[in-house]
Chain A
Amino acid sequence: MAVTLNASTTTGLVQSADTSGSLNIQSNGTTILGVTSTGTSVTGTQSVSGNLSFNSGYGSSAVAYGCRAWVNFDGTTNTGGFCTIRGSGNVTSVADNGTGDYTVNFPAMPDANYCVLSSQNIQDSSTFSQFFGVSTTTNTSYSLKSTTQVRFAVRNPVASNFDPFDVNVAIFR
């Protein structure tokens, strides 16, 4: 039990109280914010207009910067011959431009000054992969880095594109 404040859609404010030391803020009977002696719990979508700070082992509460878009996909031959997206967040599509040549599309970022991180897992122990070409000036084919797209290539040590089994891309801003 807890002290409860409920914004009811039929009767307005509904409140109850006890001596548990806990507080629940409800929307039409659903608890959105719970407060106890050990902390708070929040459900539903949260919107923070300021910076989001937390400790979580950092040593003190500090501003954290979240991943704005991510995707994991299969770049190899598969049942359809296209990129199978295993999981994603805030990504709209992945373009297979050719062997080892991909574009990740996402909703607009505030600018193109974001950080792109990627890793690839291949199924050939004799080869290692190289994430190549975001905004490089040496190969303009892979120079697409805009507010909504980033294009890149995956290459082997002899500079040939190849299709990795596991491609991971994350964008931080």
Chain B
Amino acid sequence: MTQLIIYPNDNGGVVVLTPAPECGLTIEQIAAKDVPQGKPYKIVDGSDIPSDRTFRNAWEYQE
């Protein structure tokens, strides 16, 4: 299953970062490059992300 990176945005929501499969970087390298500096993040499985996006902007990041 696809691994993703999640981190909190500045509005109390959550950003879901999808790695480009052809970029040649590991997911840890992508997190180091693309997650804003100082933001906590988690590497999660794609199946952990809700498939219903009806209330996408209400999603929250939990430590």
Asked if A97 is an interface residue, CB under 8 A from chain B, the answer is yes
Tier of interface size on chain B: 20 to 34
Q: How many A-B residue pairs have CB under 8 A?
A: 92
Within the complex, the shortest CB–CB distance from B36 to chain A, in Å, comes to 9
B15 contacts which of A88, A91, A97 (Cβ < 8 Å)? A97
CB <8 Å contact, A94 and B53:
no
Asked if A105 is an interface residue, CB under 8 A from chain B, the answer is yes
User: CA of A35 to CA of B28 in the docked complex: distance in angstroms?
Assistant: 44
Interface residues in B7-63 by Cβ distance below 8 A to A read 9, 13, 15-23, 25, 30, 33-34, 46-47, 49-53, 56-57
Q: Which residue of A lies closest to B13 (CB)?
A: A98
Residues on B close to A: CB < 8 A?
1-2, 4-5, 9, 13, 15-23, 25, 30, 33-34, 46-47, 49-53, 56-57
Residues on A close to B: CB < 8 A?
71, 73, 76-85, 87-99, 103, 105, 148-149, 163
